[in-house]
Structure 1
Amino acid sequence: MNIELRFFASVREQLGLGQERVEVPAAVATVGDLRQWLGARGGAWAEVLAEGRALRMAVDHEVASADSMLAEGCEVAFFPPVTGG
């Protein structure tokens, strides 16, 4: 399955990458699976995407949770929590 990844704000700065297209293995079916798979790249990826680290995710512009399902061609965004004022 091919997925478009987008990284915003401090996530983008830490990874040094704003977007990427990836082909994920069949075992990657949810956003949580994707986060774990990307974190296995090590280095900054492991740090930024670590389990328990505050991170927001969206699939096709809708807020997603770790158990949100992925689909061919979807866009997954990772970004830090935001606050308003």
Structure 2
Amino acid sequence: MMLYFAWVREAIGADQETLTPPPTVETVADLLDWLAARSPNHAAALADRTAIRVALDQDFAQADTPIGTAQEVAIFPPITGG
């Protein structure tokens, strides 16, 4: 399950999607590349990788983090406080 938050959700036009990436998608970077290729909205939302964060099963992940058996992928902007 892919979960999208804040402006990522607005740009993609959905708050979640149930997707099964192909076996070639092994890392977070691979996943973002695969998602960006799905539609122009996905491409626009994921174009600036410095402006998004990813969590796998509620744990923050880096670009080189293996996807493994993650059941939930959350994509969101950096969290800021005030």
With the length of structure 2 as denominator, give the TM-score of the two structures. 0.90
Counterpart of 1:75, as a letter, is E
Pairs within 5 Å for 1:1-85: 4-72=1-69, 74-85=71-82
Call closer, same or farther: CA 1:13–1:35 in 2, change over 3 Å.
same
Shift of 1:42: 3.2
Percent identity between the two aligned chains: 45
Unaligned 5+ runs, structure 2: none
For residues 67 and 79 of structure 2, the distance between their equivalents in structure 1, rounded to whole angstroms, comes to 24
CA RMSD of aligned residues (A): 1.4
Greater fraction strand: 1
With the length of structure 1 as denominator, give the TM-score of the two structures. 0.87
For residues 44 and 53 of structure 1, the distance between their equivalents in structure 2, rounded to whole angstroms, comes to 17
Shift of 1:51: 4.8
